[in-house]
Structure 1
Amino acid sequence: MTLRSILAVTDFSSKGCHAIARAALLCAEHRATLKLVYLAHPDEAPPPDAAVRLAQHALQLRQRHHITVQAATRMDLTAADVAREAADADLVVWGTAPLRGLAAWFRTHPAVRMLRACQRPVLVVRKAAAQPYQRLLVAVDFSQVSQRLVELGSALQPSARVELFHAIDTTNEGKLRYAEVSERAIRAYREECQRFAQDRMFTLADSYDARRNRLSSTIGRGDPARQVVVQQQHTAADLIVVGKHPASLLSDLVFESVAHRILRHAPTDVLVVPHGYQPATSAAPAQRLATDLPTRRVKAGQPRLPRYPNPAAQIGRS
């Protein structure tokens, strides 16, 4: 993913300023154009000087990074308006103050709503953008999009070290114990899950010989969202890359996705990529996304799939 256009969303909070700075760094590195938009919190009016402040940000970024920056002229944009703006961007960089109180629990994260509306990768910025990303943690579940996540994360920051991380969900072990399955059978099931994860991780990592000296992999156990956050804190990764499965609004409200829980608890920046996302609507970005993705070096044809299914998924269906 060679970026050509980035849309940065800000509310002038500290997170909003971090997002603008990060978007500018990425634009400078990828020689992309930047558009700044202001999005007020729900039921709040924009400040009277919002247009002036946004224009000042654009001027400062142009002078500091020597990039093309455009500031939106409308300050009363809604989330739907921003989604339409994002349709022509290669990446959305999100910077709004987090929701507080009960609203944080009964509303989905605004970035998740944006993912559903525009189907674009959304980078949620939380840390000050002092330097390019140094270490990426890519959460993989061995679905078909896991490889895509690695490619997108690597292309976003080519110089960064990349760690592939998968957490073996232990929920089914509790189900087996509840069904009074013997400890010996549970231990065999656990070992089978471990072998499956190791085989898939080896297959995925082995596809990236060109990055072998900057790519590592780790397998954990437990709740996937929680383990990703724990691993990020352990390795001090400054960006988490995670995919978002398609889900309805009701499903996201009742059953939080892994991506949503990572967004809620991760203290660092998170790049959320919708599964099956579509390229930018304009012809040029669509052609770029088809041709600019890094070429993947593969040994002996396409990566092979294990001959046996995911044991955890098999029990999950029962």
Structure 2
Amino acid sequence: MTPRSILAVTDFSQQGGHALARAALLCAEHRAPLTLVYLAHPGEVPLPDTAVRLSHHALQLRQRHDIHVHAAARIDSTVADVAREAAGADLVVWGTAPVRGLRAWFGTHPAIQMLRTCQRPVIVVRNPADQPCRSLMVAVDFSQVSHRLVELGLALHPSARVELFHAISTANEGKLRYAEVSERAIQIYQEQCRRHAQDRMFTLTDSYDARRNRLSSSIGRGDPARQVLVAQQNTAADLIVVGKHPASALSDLMFESVAQRILRDARTDVLVVPHGFQPASRGSAVKRLATDLPVRRVKAGAPRPPSHPNPAAHREPLHLFTNSPAPPLP
């Protein structure tokens, strides 16, 4: 998915400045318009000169990168306000100062809160953006969603090196040891998991044969979020791409997702992609196409029954997203 419109969120902090710079580079690379919005820090009121400062940033970015930039007319002070603005963008670039104290551990990142209302890919920017992204790491689980993550990363950064990473879960190994299974049987199970992951990784990378010269892969073992962070430190990737399952606020609070943990502990930029997202440009195109279709007038009355049964009614439903089965326990 190539972004046709980008929304940058800033609070005028250092991270906010990095986000504006990253969003401007992406807009210059994809020739997409940029919209700037302001989000106040939790518990604070917007600054009195917010509109002036936002317009000043828009003018600077327009002159520096030769792109179309405009500041939002209204001043957003809550995540819900930002979500309404993000509904019309294909990509959101987030730059707010990190929350300190207990709120950072027991609260949810504002970008995750926005994903519940508006399903748009969000790049949470933490580092300076003085050049386009050179390398990125995509966390995959071999489902159909993984293909969309890879395609989105390749589309956003066409010249960047891409590494696909998968972490083999070790949860079943603990169950086997608790059941007093022999160590030899556990080693056989580990080898089966490794070969299964290697085969699925080869299939995934082989589907991008045209870009194999800048596509690599690696496999780890253990907690997915921790293994992704360790792998990113080893490769020094500029961006981590991770998917996010839909979840409620209570679920995110009680059971932290992999995306939320990576977002909390990563020291680099993170692109969080909600499962099942659709570009805003596609939705507007479909809506415009629907309004342009000719209207056919029919006579009132009860509809006539069809002369032949609908063959589609007898087909099994198609499942768009399936999870790959794990190897059986020995």
What amino acid sits opposite 1:162 in the alignment? V
Is the deviation greater in 6-15 or in 67-76?
A: 67-76
Matching of residue 124 in structure 1 with residue 140 in structure 2: no
What is the CA–CA distance in structure 2 between the aligned matches of 1:108 and 1:222, rounded to whole Å?
24
What is the CA–CA distance in structure 2 between the aligned matches of 1:180 and 1:96, rounded to whole Å?
49
Conserved 8 A contact 2:76-2:82: no
What amino acid sits opposite 1:187 in the alignment? Q
Conserved 8 A contact 1:121-1:272: yes
Alignment of 1:228-243 (within 5 A): 228-243=228-243
Conserved 8 A contact 1:279-1:286: no
SS in 2 for 1:145: helix
Structure 2 unaligned regions, length at least 5: 289-323
Is the deviation greater in 41-50 or in 195-204?
A: 41-50
What is the CA–CA distance in structure 2 between the aligned matches of 1:176 and 1:108, rounded to whole Å?
34
Give the corresponding residue for 2:41.
Answer: 41
Give the greater-gyration-radius structure (CA): 2
Give the corresponding residue for 1:278.
Answer: 278
What is the CA–CA distance in structure 1 between the aligned matches of 2:326 and 2:244, rounded to whole Å?
20
What amino acid sits opposite 2:89 in the alignment? A
What is the CA–CA distance in structure 1 between the aligned matches of 2:18 and 2:112, rounded to whole Å?
19
% identity of equivalent residues: 77
Alignment of 1:4-43 (within 5 A): 4-43=4-43
SS in 1 for 2:280: coil
- Per the TM alignment, residue 279 of structure 1 is displaced from its structure 2 partner at its CA by 2.6
Give the TM-score, by structure 1 length: 0.89
SS in 2 for 1:228: helix
- Per the TM alignment, residue 285 of structure 1 is displaced from its structure 2 partner at its CA by 8.5
CA displacement, residues 198-247 of structure 1 (integer Å, 9 cap, x when unaligned): 11100000000110100000011111100101110100100000000111
Give the corresponding residue for 1:102.
Answer: 102
Give the TM-score, by structure 2 length: 0.86
SS in 1 for 2:144: coil
Q: Structure 1 residues 9 and 159, CA, compared in 2 at 3 Å: closer, same or farther?
A: same
Matching of residue 182 in structure 1 with residue 179 in structure 2: no
- Per the TM alignment, residue 196 of structure 1 is displaced from its structure 2 partner at its CA by 1.0
SS in 1 for 2:120: coil
Q: Structure 1 residues 123 and 285, CA, compared in 2 at 3 Å: closer, same or farther?
A: farther
What amino acid sits opposite 1:310 in the alignment? A
What is the CA–CA distance in structure 1 between the aligned matches of 2:76 and 2:243, rounded to whole Å?
30
Q: Structure 1 residues 258 and 119, CA, compared in 2 at 3 Å: closer, same or farther?
A: same
What is the CA–CA distance in structure 1 between the aligned matches of 2:285 and 2:57, rounded to whole Å?
27
Conserved 8 A contact 1:27-1:34: yes
CA displacement, residues 133-159 of structure 1 (integer Å, 9 cap, x when unaligned): 000100001121001100000000000
Give the corresponding residue for 1:290.
Answer: none
Conserved 8 A contact 2:45-2:77: no
What is the CA–CA distance in structure 2 between the aligned matches of 1:168 and 1:189, rounded to whole Å?
12
CA-based RMSD of the aligned residues comes to: 1.7
Give the corresponding residue for 1:146.
Answer: 146
- Per the TM alignment, residue 11 of structure 1 is displaced from its structure 2 partner at its CA by 0.5
- Per the TM alignment, residue 278 of structure 1 is displaced from its structure 2 partner at its CA by 2.5
Conserved 8 A contact 1:90-1:285: no
Give the corresponding residue for 1:215.
Answer: 215
- Per the TM alignment, residue 189 of structure 1 is displaced from its structure 2 partner at its CA by 1.0
Conserved 8 A contact 1:58-1:69: yes
SS in 1 for 2:29: helix
Conserved 8 A contact 1:280-1:286: no
Structure 1 unaligned regions, length at least 5: 288-307
Give the corresponding residue for 2:263.
Answer: 263
Alignment of 1:87-98 (within 5 A): 87-98=87-98
Give the corresponding residue for 1:309.
Answer: 325
Q: Structure 1 residues 32 and 285, CA, compared in 2 at 3 Å: closer, same or farther?
A: farther
What is the CA–CA distance in structure 2 between the aligned matches of 1:286 and 1:178, rounded to whole Å?
56
- Per the TM alignment, residue 171 of structure 1 is displaced from its structure 2 partner at its CA by 2.0
Q: Structure 1 residues 50 and 162, CA, compared in 2 at 3 Å: closer, same or farther?
A: same
Give the corresponding residue for 1:113.
Answer: 113
- The alignment of Structure 1 onto Structure 2 pairs a total of residues equal to 294
